């Protein structure tokens, strides 16, 4: 699904030098590269504050803690996402309210969000799934109207953009109250271990986030609030600093691979290719097709026999997971989420796919589908 080795070999001299410098310095925690990377990412994203942390799940948790959400508060989130999004809501004693996604973008359906808002709703967590931005303009309008916080789960879409009606463009993760991301190795901007970050333009909120991520302390050994310990280590920051310089190339490579897939599959009526909303830049964390549910698993199995990995993201939506049984999550009616879970298949997508590989993959997909 990804080829991190080949990607590393292309930037090996830069990365090795950066890692050696950290080892020489031995400032493994909060070393200078952590600050340098945060400042570079602020510039890249066009946001005032990037606060690094330990991983993307922590970022979501810290965001909800910093917003002062309290047990019983309702948080609206899609069910068709990686489990972390909903898990942290439950972990903090908040109530996950699962809302269906749009059939084309696979991101939150804004009309369904509006219907799910109650007097207890405090926040909305849109997920820019597979690298496609959620429809942020109407979502932000809804949030303003109901005075709700918006936490963008940008773990799969760093570098993606969203263009508003007035023509202005923002990077995903910088539109809501707080943006969260993950630097897990296979993400579009991935380290060589765990990592994550939060983004915000709100200075007070940034200070709260820094405090919560650092044991709730504002001054050393004075702990004002209950926090946690969540840091990006210096080695990861050094690697990420190098990889950030290549992020736009990486996005271009992913988009080229996606264009190849699109063209190849255009001849097959049984394959629905990923939708691109006209006002977004899709960064293709995944290239996810839809095929008839009765063919999906056998297509995946056939590809496996040909040495082609393909994955189902996500086979069991969050609202059907045992972990949410106590929330009676199964009672949510999410027809789009349910049929997507039966039809989606993600094909290999990364920065190192060459034409021979793409041809091999698409030939075999088409061979199976047209048989
Ligand atoms: C990867 C991911 C996360 C969690 O990131 P970790 O760094 O693995 O904790 C959260 N949300 C989504 C949508 C993700 O894809």
Please give the sequence-ordered ranges of beta strands (E in DSSP) within the chain, or none if there are none: 49-53, 74-78, 95-99, 121-124, 149-153, 161-163, 169-171, 178-182, 196-200, 217-219, 222-223, 280-281, 287-290, 344-347
pLDDT of residue 210: 97
Q: What is the pLDDT of residues 155-177, one digit of tens each?
A: 999 999 999 999 999 999 999 99
Q: Which residue from 314, 354, 352, 349 is spatially nearest to 334, judged by alpha carbons?
A: 314
Name the residue at shortest CA distance from atom 14 of ligand 1. Answer: 155
List, as own/partner pairs, every contact residues 140-146 make where C-beta atoms lie below 8 angstroms and the sequence separation is at least 24, other chains included.
140/175, 140/176, 142/110, 142/113, 142/114, 142/117, 143/176, 146/117, 146/121
Query: Is 0.75 surpassed by the pTM of this model?
Result: yes
Q: Is 60 exposed, middle or buried (0-12, 13-18, 19+ CB in 10 A)?
A: buried
Task: Report whether pLDDT(56) > 90.
Answer: yes
pLDDT of residue 147: 98
- Cα of 230 vs centre of ligand 1, distance in Å, is 15
pLDDT of residue 29: 96
d(CA 89, CA 92): 6
pLDDT of residue 247: 98
- Cα of 107 vs centre of ligand 1, distance in Å, is 15
Task: Report whether pLDDT(118) > 90.
Answer: yes
d(CA 267, CA 41): 40
pLDDT of residue 120: 98
Q: Which residue from 151, 116, 106, 40 is spatially nearest to 289, judged by alpha carbons?
A: 106
């045992």: which residue's tokens?
322
Q: Which atom of ligand 1 is nearest to the CA of 285?
A: 15
Task: Report whether pLDDT(326) > 90.
Answer: no
């990077």: which residue's tokens?
171
Residues with CB under 6 A from ligand 1: 55-57, 81-82, 84-85, 127, 153, 155-156, 182, 184, 194, 196
Altogether, the residues listed in the chain come to a count of 371
Measured over the CA atoms of residue 34, residue 14, residue 157 and residue 57, the dihedral's sign is negative
Q: What is the pLDDT of residues 242-292, one digit of tens each?
A: 999 999 999 999 999 999 999 999 999 999 999 999 999 999 999 999 999
- Cα of 181 vs centre of ligand 1, distance in Å, is 7
pLDDT of residue 146: 98
| Mutation to probe ligand 1, out of 60, 82, 158, 187 (largest number of atoms < 8 A from CB) | 82
Task: Report whether pLDDT(226) > 90.
Answer: yes
Q: Which atom of ligand 1 is nearest to the CA of 182?
A: 7
pLDDT of residue 175: 98
- Cα of 266 vs centre of ligand 1, distance in Å, is 31
Main-chain phi, psi angles of 195, to 5 degrees? 180, 160
Domains of the chain, earliest start first: 4-99+108-244 (3.40.640.10), 247-369 (3.90.1150.10)
- Cα of 108 vs centre of ligand 1, distance in Å, is 17
Task: Report whether pLDDT(1) > 90.
Answer: no
| Mutation to probe ligand 1, out of 156, 185, 346 (largest number of atoms < 8 A from CB) | 156
Task: Report whether pLDDT(218) > 90.
Answer: no
pLDDT of residue 329: 81
Which range has the worst mean pLDDT, 74-88, 123-137, 226-240, 314-328?
A: 314-328
Task: Report whether pLDDT(328) > 90.
Answer: no
**In sequence order, what are the residues at sequence separation of 6 or more whose Cβ sits closer than 8 angstroms to the Cβ of residue 114?**
142
């Amino acid at each position: 699904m990804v080829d991190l080795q080949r990607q590393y070999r292309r930037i090996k001299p830069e990365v090795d030098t950066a890692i050696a410098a950290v080892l020489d310095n031995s400032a493994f925690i909060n070393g200078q590269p952590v600050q340098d990377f945060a400042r570079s990412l602020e510039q890249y994203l066009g946001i005032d504050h990037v606060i690094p942390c330990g991983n993307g799940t922590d970022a979501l948790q810290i965001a909800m803690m910093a917003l002062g959400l309290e047990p019983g508060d309702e948080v609206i989130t899609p069910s068709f996402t990686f489990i972390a999004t909903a898990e942290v809501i439950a972990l903090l004693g908040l109530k996950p309210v699962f809302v269906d996604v749009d059939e084309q973008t696979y991101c939150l359906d804004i009309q369904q969000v509006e219907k799910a808002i109650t007097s207890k709703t405090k926040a909305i967590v849109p997920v820019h799934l597979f690298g496609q931005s959620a429809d942020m303009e109407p979502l932000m309008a809804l949030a303003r109207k109901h005075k709700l916080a918006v936490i963008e789960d940008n773990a799969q879409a760093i570098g993606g953009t969203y263009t508003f009606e007035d023509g202005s463009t923002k990077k995903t993760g910088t539109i809501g109250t707080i943006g969260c991301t993950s630097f897990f190795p296979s993400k579009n901007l991935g380290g060589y271990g765990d990592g994550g970050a939060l983004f915000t333009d709100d200075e007070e909120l940034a200070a709260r986030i820094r405090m919560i991520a650092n044991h709730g302390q504002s001054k050393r050994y004075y702990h004002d609030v209950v926090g946690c310990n969540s840091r990006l280590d210096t080695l990861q920051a050094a690697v990420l600093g190098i990889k950030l310089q290549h992020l736009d190339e990486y996005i271009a490579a992913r988009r080229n691979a996606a264009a190849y897939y699109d063209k190849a599959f255009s001849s097959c009526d049984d394959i629905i290719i990923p939708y691109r909303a006209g006002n977004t830049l899709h960064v293709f964390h995944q290239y996810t097709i839809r095929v008839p549910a009765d063919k999906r698993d056998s297509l995946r199995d056939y590809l496996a026999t040909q040495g082609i990995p393909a994955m189902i993201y996500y086979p069991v939506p969050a609202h059907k997971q045992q972990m949410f049984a106590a929330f009676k999550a199964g009672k949510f009616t999410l027809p789009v989420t349910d049929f997507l879970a039966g039809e989606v298949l993600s094909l290999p997508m990364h920065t190192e796919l060459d034409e021979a590989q793409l041809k091999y993959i698409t030939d075999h997909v088409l061979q199976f589908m047209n048989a």
